[in-house]
Structure 1
Amino acid sequence: MATTALKPPPGAAADWTIPQDWRSYTAQEHATWDKLFARQAEMLKGRVTPAFLEGLDVLRLSKPGIPDFEELSEVLMARTGWRVVAVPGLVPDEDFFRHLANRTFVAGRFIRRPDQLDYLEEPDVFHDVFGHVPLLANPVFADYMQAYGAGGLRSMSFDALHWLARLYWYTVEFGLVREGGDLKLYGAGIVSSFGESVFALDDPSPNRIGFDLKRVMRTRYRIDDYQQTYFVIDSFDDLLRQTLETDFGPLYAALGKEADLEPQDVIAGDKVFTRGTQAYALQHKKAS
């Protein structure tokens, strides 16, 4: 959730946070949340990592509809020490990383309109809270998110934000995990999307490739449609281990000497679970 703006907008604190103002939500906005929650929770059964479904309990609070961030933070703090705060939209990279490093997750407070249930370009409270918060209740993934934030702060002096953004994109937002021989969803961008929850696992179009840190950070991504490649981690423990054990300084130096890879590329050395047809991307390219 990054922006290049230098100063917080009016009404925001120096760290870009704003009051959620839970009481200002309308009945229709709460109903939109409830509809999205029920539909997506049902869709994800058998498709998402069990850790996500277990974490959904933190969103079932005393008040109906959109979660009150104060109550949500109390529940989450008791589990993993994280809290959720509202922001007016995208925040600067350094502030975003600092929040994560301090176990604070920033979330938009607005919710999409009823005619936007299936797609919204800018992250709303459903994407941010339904998509991200359940795994922040998982101790290992919660530690990964904090480690990512700390690593992001260190990356500021390496001109490496584009590489680190790819790691976030292909893990936190659009990651798959292999569990019990099956591929499962865990990325927030997938689990909060009705269509991509099906596409990411079932469609023959995208590549599904084993996670490799350097490989992921070389790979461009799609911001305007379903992904052309999904990367598959072995476990949250392994993802955290690789993040903590890697010296990112030399990795950034090595990345600077290699060409970027396109979203659809499959290269020698890839562990390929599925070599996609790319039919979906090709069709939509022609249509545009």
Structure 2
Amino acid sequence: MPKSTEYDAKHPDADGFIAYDAEEDAVWRDLYAQQLPAVRRHMATPYLRGLELLQMSADRVPQCPDISARLGGLTGWRVEPVPALIGFGKFFGMLADKAFPAASFIRKRKHFDYIEEPDIFHEIFGHTPLLTDPAFAGFSQAIGQAGTRCDKADYAWLIRLYWFSIEFGLMRQDGELKALGSGLASSVTELPWSLSGQPELRPFDVIDILRTPYRIDIHQPVYFVIEDLDDLFAAARRDLLADVAQARRLGLHAPKYPPKTAA
């Protein structure tokens, strides 16, 4: 997360609804219209099935209570707007409670193609479709539950499993490489990059993932490919704290990206 931001959180009313203005709704409409063809072409079936189930608005920013009502009937999850960027501890705690934390603001037009911090388009368009699926929702909850039991020093290790699967995972579908992660679904530029043949592709392996560093402000140089979704869901039944301990003993892999330069 960036240490500073020009965005201010938007606060819901007593019923959980947020008053977005006409320009904010227009940004959502244009993002949705631009991203939908790429999503239909490149995203895996579980995401596309969830997007269809949610029937979210294409013309205005969806409201968390409306998305929560649909998710609640499918998997028991809900979406809660958060007032600011939250720490790993709160993030894991909310996942454990079947609550997805959603940044409440939407990006400005000058950040249309790329924004470093997550906005409501990333949260709703990117994340909520997978939360309609009980297995994916259960995987997210398992990571949250592990996070509530681990030491703070282990947060940065555990979050890599979420990052390289739910956020930026790829999968093999009928022999074709497809994007699965929410960060890819909502990214105008990284979705095609991830499938371009230029990044390094590795097989999905929990320990390898936990040892792989990443940066949030660049397109990923490495993606992990899930050959069988059962391999992903099986990770939810592992002793993730023991996996983190093993990864720590083995140490981090050398980064595949250059160090971040000062602004």
> TM-score with structure 2 length normalisation?
0.88
Partner of 1:100: helix, strand, or coil? helix
Q: 1:24 aligns with which of 19, 22, 39?
A: 19
Q: What's the counterpart of residue 7 of structure 1?
A: none
C-alpha contact (below 8 Å) 2:164/2:223 kept by paired residues: yes
Please give the alpha-carbon distance, in whole angstroms, between the structure 2 residues aligned to 1:224 and 1:2: 9
Structure of higher CA gyration radius: 1
C-alpha contact (below 8 Å) 1:2/1:92 kept by paired residues: no
Q: Structure 1 residue 62: deviation in Å?
A: 7.1
Please give the alpha-carbon distance, in whole angstroms, between the structure 1 residues aligned to 2:255 and 2:220: 8
In the alignment, is residue 255 of structure 1 matched against residue 247 of structure 2? yes
Please give the alpha-carbon distance, in whole angstroms, between the structure 2 residues aligned to 1:2 and 1:77: 32
C-alpha contact (below 8 Å) 1:2/1:96 kept by paired residues: no
Runs of at least 5 residues in structure 1 that lack an aligned partner in the other structure: 4-9, 265-280
In the alignment, is residue 130 of structure 1 matched against residue 122 of structure 2? no
Q: What's the counterpart of residue 216 of structure 1?
A: 209
Relative to 1, partners in 2 of residues 1:43 and 1:20: Cα closer, same or farther, differing over 3 Å?
farther
Paired-residue identity, %: 38
Q: Deviation digits for residues 120-150 of structure 1, max 9, x if unmatched?
A: 0111000111110011011210111111111
Q: 1:169 aligns with which of 150, 163, 174?
A: 163
In the alignment, is residue 110 of structure 1 matched against residue 108 of structure 2? no
Relative to 1, partners in 2 of residues 1:74 and 1:232: Cα closer, same or farther, differing over 3 Å?
same
Relative to 1, partners in 2 of residues 1:156 and 1:201: Cα closer, same or farther, differing over 3 Å?
same
Partner of 2:65: helix, strand, or coil? helix
Counterpart residue identity of residue 209, structure 1? R
Q: Structure 1 residue 285: deviation in Å?
A: 8.8
Relative to 1, partners in 2 of residues 1:223 and 1:160: Cα closer, same or farther, differing over 3 Å?
same
Task: Within 5 Å, give how 1:1-288 maps onto structure 2.
Answer: 22-61=17-56, 64-156=59-151, 159-202=153-196, 204-244=197-237, 246-264=238-256
Counterpart residue identity of residue 108, structure 1? A
Relative to 1, partners in 2 of residues 1:81 and 1:2: Cα closer, same or farther, differing over 3 Å?
farther
Please give the alpha-carbon distance, in whole angstroms, between the structure 1 residues aligned to 2:14 and 2:105: 12
Please give the alpha-carbon distance, in whole angstroms, between the structure 1 residues aligned to 2:260 and 2:81: 36
Please give the alpha-carbon distance, in whole angstroms, between the structure 1 residues aligned to 2:110 and 2:242: 47
Counterpart residue identity of residue 165, structure 2? T
Q: Structure 1 residue 251: deviation in Å?
A: 2.4
Q: Structure 1 residue 21: deviation in Å?
A: 6.0
Q: Deviation digits for residues 67-105 of structure 1, max 9, x if unmatched?
A: 111111111111111110100222132221111111110
C-alpha contact (below 8 Å) 1:100/1:149 kept by paired residues: yes
Runs of at least 5 residues in structure 2 that lack an aligned partner in the other structure: 4-8
Q: Deviation digits for residues 221-277 of structure 1, max 9, x if unmatched?
A: 122210110001123332121231x2234323322222311343xxxxxxxxxxxxx
Partner of 2:251: helix, strand, or coil? coil
Q: Structure 1 residue 58: deviation in Å?
A: 4.3
C-alpha contact (below 8 Å) 1:55/1:138 kept by paired residues: yes
Task: Judge which range, 121-130 or 247-256, deviates more.
Answer: 247-256
Please give the alpha-carbon distance, in whole angstroms, between the structure 2 residues aligned to 1:64 and 1:259: 47
Relative to 1, partners in 2 of residues 1:253 and 1:72: Cα closer, same or farther, differing over 3 Å?
closer
Relative to 1, partners in 2 of residues 1:285 and 1:109: Cα closer, same or farther, differing over 3 Å?
closer
Partner of 1:123: helix, strand, or coil? coil
> TM-score with structure 1 length normalisation?
0.81
